[in-house]
């Protein structure tokens, strides 16, 4: 391989390396910011200030928490399957980086333009579920096992309407490339697919919250039911990686939602990447707001919701989208 | 004002009590063997089982069952006495399922064996606890005559103790007996 | 060095009864005292088939402290703080039950001002207890926010009661013949301000929490208790009123000045968890009504009868007092111990719930586990 090729910005490998570095930087900083935002929003919803003393308005809280987590002893319970136990957090975090690559932050800032970007994201987010299961099983802990079983059933149930709603949008746009789908929308809300196909947007949001195991669908983690569910036995950086992966997953689904339903980077006045971030954070704030407002759904109600309500609705929506797209929409 | 169903229990004593002073309107003393039938009578009459408790007296261990109707001052108490060396009482857990845990607790604290109880075990104390903590040393026990109001003792023919304290007691309102 | 005792691994009686049966695909889970939702006092052995609970057996005793035995070692007055600890969330109710039983037997008259003060502080305590219930109930269901709102309201009550009694949680405010000390001058306005605040918050709680579709879905139709079951199991309080029986001790066997106050008894017929939830949340409003009336009617006068350590009277008495969880405070009776025992002051024997207590010198006849050799 010619080393000079690497210095050319249109060489795919170079783009990939720069993209990965950018993604890691983005994920890291964003996780810090997002955790702080969540804790502050949670605090103010609950009539308290949230982190306040560490840095101005608690801005350095997450940094120090990350340092604390990194400094903790890595303990695995006796009788746990060490390979599975330590693979799980790594497996939770790794697909996240891949899922970031197709997100179109900006016409010039998409790390990789793939014509199957959507499929890539959906496929790799499934790996996250596998990591939950390995964690629960490998912990040698019945609470973890219950959390893992719930995680698998929940993810399975909510993948289907998620895929169907996403396919409806793909049919409307005529492409599976997130860049293309964003490009076909406009900067103004009436040009977004979110308003042209609100049912798909709603189904996608519900499934996104369920896929990322956020309340009211946080049963695998179910703090008041399962102690800590699949990550009961994790402390220190093992827990830190799960935590990070959960927030990164939130950002990914928000990014996909912004690209599919909210017009992506397009918007007046500001350059594209800023709009993308604004839209991501609006959806994130909505997801955070949901968490601190609603109690948890019961597990059979959760599965009922998915199989009996969201899937038929998503099928209906897909059929309508196909008809509309087919007749020249 | 004793209800008609009380006769069906074949009580040993039936004493009307002062509700304002004691909280019960009726005290019914039974033979231990009559207990399940009495509980069945009260179940038919719609009584709620409030409590099963015991006391360690000189005459034996007295077990008390408190029942009341669902509303109003209607509490009555069933009493029975079993000997210290054979504290066996028929269980009413089949009639009143709520008695299950009450009887376990009496067993736990007093060692009373409830015959026919589905699963008699220590309810509150650790399962390897030795002894029954609320039993008293023999010299510390009191008799019903010393403990119950004069009206009750007279109605049941209990011997009241002839203590100086009893003679010099201030005019304490204990109920209609003293009036 | 002690040798390792392998029988320890066998587990206790509860685990032995829950051995997996011939079909090994059932999960046996000890939802033990260490669990976020059991609050440290309950253990339930579960047999699960996936998410379905096939068998559940509760194991009690984790908060058992043997108050009955403690009472045997103490005098009347010394035992009053124990009553605050029996149900620490509603200490006033238990204080009242104990003090009331003693007063009934000893014939101690309680002055009217004291009766009104008792009603007010007991109802304030009831509200604070119900707020803890409400917050923790929703926390166990997965809603993390209402408990903080509940505790925010509760802080006002705790501040009021701290200025009255000196304690925030485990009050020993009652005494035989009244209350321990008079209320401060700003007590009445603060109580009224609190009830006003509480009433203004209740609509928000109703809209955001009680009418929440997820909460309704989780509570409706769950845990149904028929009236007959409630009667035969001895359910009282919200358990009974949630099954449609309009039974409230404050109305049925009025104590204090409840017979002069006008308040509604919330009753819901469905018998499920939602009915009991609604009963308790309605009781928040009922208690506000009672406090308003009692504060308006608070008379001047002494705050306690000057009763000494009461002469142990004859007989047995019980005062059934409505505790927040319905019915668990029934300290019953006093018995008289003759004064012929040398070297002892006249003490009384007290019937604690289900137990005979002997307050006096001398130790209980049972053995204490810690000191096996003690007589």
pLDDT (tens digit per residue) in C130-144: 999 999 999 999 888
Whether chain C has a CB inside 8 Å of the CB on B145: the answer is: no
C96 in any annotated domain:
yes
Q: Say what the pLDDT of residue A112 is.
A: 72
Q: Say what the pLDDT of residue C23 is.
A: 65
Q: Please state, for a pLDDT cut of 90, what percent of chain C lies above it.
A: 54
| Chain A residues with CB-CB distance to C212 below 8 A | 294-295
C262 in any annotated domain:
yes
Q: Other C-beta atoms within 10 Å of C47: how many?
A: 17
Is C212 in contact with A301 (Cβ distance < 8 A)? no
C78 plus C195 within the same structural domain: yes
Of the candidates C33, C59, C85, which is a domain's last residue?
C59
Is B23 in contact with C107 (Cβ distance < 8 A)? no
C134 plus C113 within the same structural domain: yes
Q: Which of B70, B112, B159 to mutate to test the interface with C (most CBs of C within 10 A)?
A: B70
Mean pLDDT calculated for residue range C143-171: 94
Highest mean pLDDT among A100-104, B39-43, B140-144: B39-43
Judged against a pLDDT cut of 60, whether residue C335 lies above it is answered with no
C107-141 burial string, b = 16+ CB within 10 Å, else e? Answer: bbebbbbbbbbbbbbbbbbbbbbbbbbbbbbbbbb
Write the residue in A142, A223, A291 that is nearest to C36 by C-beta: A223
| Chain A residues with CB-CB distance to C142 below 8 A | 215-216, 218, 222-225, 294-296
Q: Which of A224, A229, A309 to mutate to test the interface with C (most CBs of C within 10 A)?
A: A224
Q: Name, in order, each residue with C-beta under 8 angstroms of A67's C-beta and a sequence gap of 6 or more.
A: none
Please tell me the number of Cα atoms within 13 Å of C101 on its side-chain side: 30
| Cα distance between residue C165 and residue C177, in whole Å | 16
Q: Say what the pLDDT of residue B178 is.
A: 34
Instruction: List, for residues C258-288, the tens digit of each pLDDT value.
Output: 999 999 999 999 999 999 999 999 999 999 9
Q: Say what the pLDDT of residue C91 is.
A: 94
Q: Name, in order, each residue with C-beta under 8 angstroms of A232's C-beta and a sequence gap of 6 or more.
A: A139, A141, A143, A144, A147, A226
Mean pLDDT calculated for residue range C227-251: 92
Domain count, chain C: 2
Phi-psi category of A307—alpha, beta or left, where left has phi over 0 and alpha has psi -120 to 50? alpha
Write the residue in B21, B56, B166 that is nearest to C105 by C-beta: B21
Which range has the worst mean pLDDT, A4-8, B27-31, C71-75?
A4-8
Using CA coordinates, name the residue in chain C closest to B103: C354
| Cα distance between residue C67 and residue B109, in whole Å | 12
CA-nearest of A302, A292, A298 to C215 is A298
Among C residues 223-242, those touching chain B with beta carbons less than 8 Å apart? 229-236, 240
SS3 content of chain A, % helix, strand, coil (to 5): 70, 0, 30
Write the residue in A42, A216, A222 that is nearest to C214 by C-beta: A216
Residue C196 · residue C288 · CB < 8 Å? no
Judged against a pLDDT cut of 70, whether residue C348 lies above it is answered with no
Judged against a pLDDT cut of 60, whether residue C342 lies above it is answered with no
Joined together, the tokens standing for residue C279 give 């009963």
Is A292 in contact with C51 (Cβ distance < 8 A)? no
Q: Say what the pLDDT of residue C155 is.
A: 96
Residue B54 · residue C356 · CB < 8 Å? yes
Size of interface B-C (CB pairs under 8 A): 191
Q: Name, in order, each residue with C-beta under 8 angstroms of A283's C-beta and a sequence gap of 6 or more.
A: A205, A254, A257, A258, A262
Question: Beta partners for C29?
Answer: C46
| pLDDT mean across residues, chain C | 80
Is C231 in contact with B70 (Cβ distance < 8 A)? yes
Is A146 in contact with C140 (Cβ distance < 8 A)? no
| Cα distance between residue C161 and residue C166, in whole Å | 7
CATH number of the domain at B41, please: 3.30.460.80
C303 in any annotated domain:
no
| Chain B residues with CB-CB distance to C232 below 8 A | 43, 48-49, 95-98
Q: Say what the pLDDT of residue C334 is.
A: 36
| Cα distance between residue B122 and residue C214, in whole Å | 39
C75 in any annotated domain:
yes
C53 plus C84 within the same structural domain: no
C44 plus C177 within the same structural domain: no
Q: Say what the pLDDT of residue C373 is.
A: 23
C220 plus C292 within the same structural domain: yes
Whether chain C has a CB inside 8 Å of the CB on B103: the answer is: no
Write the residue in C64, C104, C354 that is nearest to B51 by C-beta: C354
Of the candidates C274, C296, C318, which is a domain's last residue?
C296
Weakly modelled stretches of chain A, pLDDT under 70? 1-2, 110-111, 223-224, 328-329
How far away is chain A from the Cα of C271, in angstroms, using its nearest Cα? 20
C333 in any annotated domain:
no
DSSP C175-191: ETTEESSPPPTTHHHHH
C46 plus C107 within the same structural domain: no
Q: Name, in order, each residue with C-beta under 8 angstroms of A65's C-beta and a sequence gap of 6 or more.
A: A35
Using CA coordinates, name the residue in chain C closest to A150: C51
Q: Say what the pLDDT of residue C309 is.
A: 52
User: A-side interface with C, Cβ within 8 Å?
Assistant: 42, 45-48, 142-143, 145-146, 149-150, 215-216, 218, 222-225, 227, 291-301
Instruction: List, for residues C80-124, the tens digit of each pLDDT value.
Output: 999 999 989 999 999 999 999 889 888 889 999 999 999 999 999
Joined together, the tokens standing for residue C44 give 């339930």
**Chains touching chain B, criterion 3+ CB pairs below 8 Å:** C
Residue C266 · residue C276 · CB < 8 Å? no
Which stretches does DSSP call E strand in chain C? 27-31, 43-49, 52-59, 174-175, 178-179, 321-323, 326-329, 333-336, 348-352, 355-358
Q: Which of B49, B53, B155 to mutate to test the interface with C (most CBs of C within 10 A)?
A: B53
| Chain C residues with CB-CB distance to A295 below 8 A | 138, 141-143, 212, 214-215, 218
Kindly tell me whether chain B and chain C come into contact, counting contact as 3+ Cβ pairs under 8 Å. Answer: yes
Residue C334 · residue C101 · CB < 8 Å? yes
Sequence spans of domains, chain A: 73-326
Instruction: List, for residues B127-141, the tens digit of each pLDDT value.
Output: 889 999 999 999 989
CA-nearest of B66, B82, B83, B62 to B147 is B62
C193 plus C209 within the same structural domain: yes
Sign (positive/negative) of CA torsion C293, C298, C303, C309? Answer: negative
Which range has the worst mean pLDDT, A209-223, C189-203, C329-343?
C329-343
First to last CA, chain C: 29
Write the residue in C149, C152, C212 that is nearest to A295 by C-beta: C212
C207 plus C92 within the same structural domain: yes
Judged against a pLDDT cut of 50, whether residue B51 lies above it is answered with yes
Whether chain B has a CB inside 8 Å of the CB on C330: the answer is: yes
Is C317 in contact with B23 (Cβ distance < 8 A)? yes
Using CA coordinates, name the residue in chain A closest to C219: A298
C71-91 burial string, b = 16+ CB within 10 Å, else e? Answer: bbbbbbeebbebbbbbbebbb
Residue B102 · residue B51 · CB < 8 Å? yes
Judged against a pLDDT cut of 50, whether residue C352 lies above it is answered with no
C27 plus C173 within the same structural domain: no
What is the residue whose two structure tokens read 């002469």?
A: C311
Q: Say what the pLDDT of residue B52 is.
A: 94
Question: Domain limits at C19?
Answer: 6-59
How far away is chain B from the Cα of C354, in angstroms, using its nearest Cα? 4
Joined together, the tokens standing for residue C209 give 């929490």
Q: Name, in order, each residue with C-beta under 8 angstroms of A208's C-beta and a sequence gap of 6 or more.
A: A162, A253, A254, A256, A257, A287
| Chain B residues with CB-CB distance to C327 below 8 A | 50
For the CA atoms of C198, C203, C209, C213, the dihedral, rounded to the nearest 10 degrees, stands at 160
Whether chain C has a CB inside 8 Å of the CB on B47: the answer is: yes
Whether chain B has a CB inside 8 Å of the CB on C113: the answer is: no
Domain count, chain B: 1
User: Would you give the distance in Å from CA A186 to the centre of its chain?
Assistant: 24
| Chain C residues with CB-CB distance to B49 below 8 A | 231-234
Local confidence band at C21 (pLDDT 50, 70, 90 cut-offs)? low
Which range has the worst mean pLDDT, A3-17, B20-34, C140-154?
A3-17
Instruction: List, for residues A132-181, the tens digit of each pLDDT value.
Output: 889 988 888 888 888 888 888 999 999 999 999 999 999 888 888 888 88
Instruction: List, for residues B54-81, the tens digit of each pLDDT value.
Output: 999 999 999 999 999 987 788 999 999 9
Which is higher by pLDDT, C343 or C335?
A: C335
How far away is chain A from the Cα of C38, in angstroms, using its nearest Cα? 9
Cis peptide bond upstream of A128, omega within 30: no
CA-nearest of A181, A243, A236 to A212 is A243
Is C318 in contact with B96 (Cβ distance < 8 A)? no
C179 plus C50 within the same structural domain: no
Q: Name, in order, each residue with C-beta under 8 angstroms of C243's C-beta and a sequence gap of 6 or more.
A: C225, C226, C227, C229, C230, C235, C269, C271, C275
Q: Say what the pLDDT of residue A224 is.
A: 64
Whether chain C has a CB inside 8 Å of the CB on B85: the answer is: no
| Cα distance between residue A78 and residue A82, in whole Å | 9
C271 in any annotated domain:
yes
| Cα distance between residue C256 and residue C247, in whole Å | 18
Residue A150 · residue A232 · CB < 8 Å? no
Is B163 in contact with C340 (Cβ distance < 8 A)? yes
C319 in any annotated domain:
no
Whether chain B has a CB inside 8 Å of the CB on C252: the answer is: yes
Is B169 in contact with C252 (Cβ distance < 8 A)? no
CA-nearest of A87, A76, A167 to A135 is A87
| Cα distance between residue A261 and residue A250, in whole Å | 16
What is the residue whose two structure tokens read 């009217």?
A: C112
CA-nearest of C87, C128, C110 to C180 is C110
C121 plus C34 within the same structural domain: no
Write the residue in B97, B140, B164 that is nearest to C362 by C-beta: B140
Phi-psi category of A294—alpha, beta or left, where left has phi over 0 and alpha has psi -120 to 50? beta
C326 in any annotated domain:
no
The pTM score is 0.86
Question: Does the predicted interface ipTM exceed a cut of 0.90?
Answer: no
The torsion angles phi and psi of A164, rounded to 5 degrees, stand at -65, -40
Q: Please state, for a pLDDT cut of 90, what percent of chain B lies above it.
A: 65
Of the candidates C246, C265, C296, which is a domain's last residue?
C296
Judged against a pLDDT cut of 80, whether residue C185 lies above it is answered with yes
Residue A297 carries which DSSP code?
A: P
Q: Other C-beta atoms within 10 Å of B80: how many?
A: 22
| Cα distance between residue B129 and residue C145, in whole Å | 42
Query: Residue A300 burial (CB < 10 Å; 0-12/13-18/19+)?
Result: exposed
**Chains touching chain C, criterion 3+ CB pairs below 8 Å:** A, B
Judged against a pLDDT cut of 90, whether residue C3 lies above it is answered with no
The torsion angles phi and psi of C30, rounded to 5 degrees, stand at -95, 100
C147 plus C244 within the same structural domain: yes
Whether chain B has a CB inside 8 Å of the CB on C366: the answer is: yes
Residue A251 · residue A27 · CB < 8 Å? yes
Q: Say what the pLDDT of residue C134 is.
A: 96
| Chain A residues with CB-CB distance to C218 below 8 A | 295-298, 301
Which is higher by pLDDT, A147 or C349?
A: A147
Phi-psi category of A75—alpha, beta or left, where left has phi over 0 and alpha has psi -120 to 50? beta
Using CA coordinates, name the residue in chain B closest to C12: B127
Q: Say what the pLDDT of residue C337 is.
A: 33
How far away is chain C from the Cα of B10, in angstroms, using its nearest Cα? 22
Q: Please state, for a pLDDT cut of 70, what percent of chain C lies above it.
A: 79
Which range has the worst mean pLDDT, A97-101, B170-174, C1-5, C204-208?
B170-174
How far away is chain C from the Cα of B29, in angstroms, using its nearest Cα? 15
Write the residue in C29, C152, C214 that is nearest to A297 by C-beta: C214
């Amino acid at each position: 391989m010619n080393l000079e090729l690497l210095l050319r910005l249109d060489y795919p490998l170079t783009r990939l390396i720069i993209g990965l570095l950018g993604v890691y930087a983005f994920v890291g900083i964003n996780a810090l910011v997002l955790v702080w935002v969540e804790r502050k929003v949670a605090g103010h919803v609950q009539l308290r200030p949230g982190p306040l003393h560490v840095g101005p308005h608690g801005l350095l809280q997450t940094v120090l928490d990350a340092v604390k987590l990194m400094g903790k002893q890595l303990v695995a319970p006796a009788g746990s399957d060490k390979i599975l136990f330590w693979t799980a957090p790594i497996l939770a975090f790794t697909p996240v980086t891949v899922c970031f690559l197709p997100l179109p932050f900006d016409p010039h800032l998409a790390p990789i333009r793939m014509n199957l970007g959507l499929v890539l994201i959906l496929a790799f987010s499934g790996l996250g579920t596998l990591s939950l299961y390995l964690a629960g099983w490998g912990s040698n802990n019945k609470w973890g096992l219950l959390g893992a079983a719930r995680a698998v059933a929940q993810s399975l149930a909510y993948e289907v309407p998620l895929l169907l709603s996403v396919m409806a949008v793909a049919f409307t746009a005529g492409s599976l490339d997130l860049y293309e789908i964003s490009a076909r929308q406009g900067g103004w809300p009436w040009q977004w697919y979110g308003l042209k196909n609100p049912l798909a947007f709603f189904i996608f949001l519900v499934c996104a919250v369920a896929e990322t195991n956020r309340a009211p669908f946080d049963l695998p983690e179910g703090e008041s039911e399962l102690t800590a569910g699949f990550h009961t036995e994790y402390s220190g950086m093992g827990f830190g990686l799960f935590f990070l992966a959960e927030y990164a997953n939130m950002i990914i689904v928000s990014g996909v939602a912004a690209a599919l339903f909210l017009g992506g980077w397009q918007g007046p006045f500001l350059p594209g990447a800023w709009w993308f971030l604004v839209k991501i954070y609006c959806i994130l704030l909505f997801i955070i707001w949901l968490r601190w407002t609603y109690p948890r759904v019961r597990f059979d109600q959760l599965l009922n919701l998915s199989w009996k309500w969201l899937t038929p609705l998503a099928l209906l929506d897909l059929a309508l989208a196909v008809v509309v797209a087919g007749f020249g929409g | 004002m004793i209800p008609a169903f009380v006769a069906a229990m074949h009580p040993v004593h039936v004493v009307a009590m002062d509700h304002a002073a004691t909280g019960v309107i009726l005290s019914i003393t039974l033979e231990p063997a009559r207990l399940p039938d009495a509980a069945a009578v009260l179940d038919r009459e719609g009584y709620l089982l409030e409590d099963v408790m015991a006391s360690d007296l000189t005459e034996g261990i007295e077990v008390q069952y408190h029942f009341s109707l669902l509303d109003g001052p209607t509490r009555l108490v069933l009493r029975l006495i079993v000997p210290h060396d054979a504290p066996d009482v028929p269980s009413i857990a089949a009639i009143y399922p709520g008695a299950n845990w009450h009887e376990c607790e009496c067993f736990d604290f007093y060692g009373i064996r409830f015959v026919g109880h589905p699963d008699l075990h220590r309810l509150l104390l650790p399962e390897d606890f030795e002894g029954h903590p609320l039993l008293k040393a023999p010299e510390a026990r009191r008799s019903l005559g010393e403990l119950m109001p004069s009206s009750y003792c007279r109605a049941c023919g209990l011997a009241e103790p002839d203590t100086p304290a009893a003679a010099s007691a201030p005019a304490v309102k204990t109920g209609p007996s003293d009036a | 060095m002690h040798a390792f005792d392998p029988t320890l691994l066998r587990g206790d009686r509860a685990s032995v009864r829950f051995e997996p049966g011939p079909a090994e695909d059932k999960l046996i889970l000890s939802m033990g005292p260490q669990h976020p939702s059991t609050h440290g006092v309950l253990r339930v052995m579960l047999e699960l088939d996936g998410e379905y609970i096939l068998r559940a057996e509760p194991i009690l005793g984790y908060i058992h402290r043997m108050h009955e035995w403690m009472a045997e070692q103490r005098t009347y007055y010394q035992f009053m703080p124990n009553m605050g600890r029996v149900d620490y969330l509603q200490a006033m109710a238990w204080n009242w039950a104990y003090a009331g039983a003693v007063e009934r037997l000893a014939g101690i008259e309680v002055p009217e001002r004291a009766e009104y003060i008792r009603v007010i502080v007991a109802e304030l305590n009831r509200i604070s207890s119900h707020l803890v219930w409400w917050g923790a109930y929703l926390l166990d269901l997965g809603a993390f926010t209402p408990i903080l709102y509940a505790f925010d309201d509760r802080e006002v009550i705790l501040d009021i009661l701290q200025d009255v009694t000196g304690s925030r949680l485990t009050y020993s405010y009652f005494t035989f013949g009244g209350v321990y000390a008079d209320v401060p001058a700003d007590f009445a306005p603060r109580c009224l301000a609190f009830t006003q605040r509480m009433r203004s918050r209740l609509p928000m709680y109703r809209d955001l929490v009680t009418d929440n579709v997820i909460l309704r879905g989780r509570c409706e139709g769950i845990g149904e208790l028929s009236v007959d079951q409630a009667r035969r199991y001895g359910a009282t309080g919200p358990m009974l009123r949630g099954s449609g029986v309009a039974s409230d001790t404050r109305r049925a066997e009025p104590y204090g000045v409840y017979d002069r106050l006008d308040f509604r008894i919330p009753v819901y017929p469905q018998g499920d968890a939602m009915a009991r939830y609604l009963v308790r949340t309605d009781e928040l409003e009922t208690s506000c009504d009672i406090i308003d009336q009692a504060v308006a009617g608070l008379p001047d006068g002494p705050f306690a009868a000057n009763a000494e350590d009461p002469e142990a009277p004859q007989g047995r008495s019980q005062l059934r007092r409505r505790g927040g969880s319905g019915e668990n405070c029934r300290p019953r009776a006093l018995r008289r111990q003759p004064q012929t025992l040398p070297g002892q002051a006249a003490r009384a024997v007290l019937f604690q719930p289900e137990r005979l207590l002997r307050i006096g010198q001398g130790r209980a006849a049972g053995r204490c586990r810690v000191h096996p050799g003690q007589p």
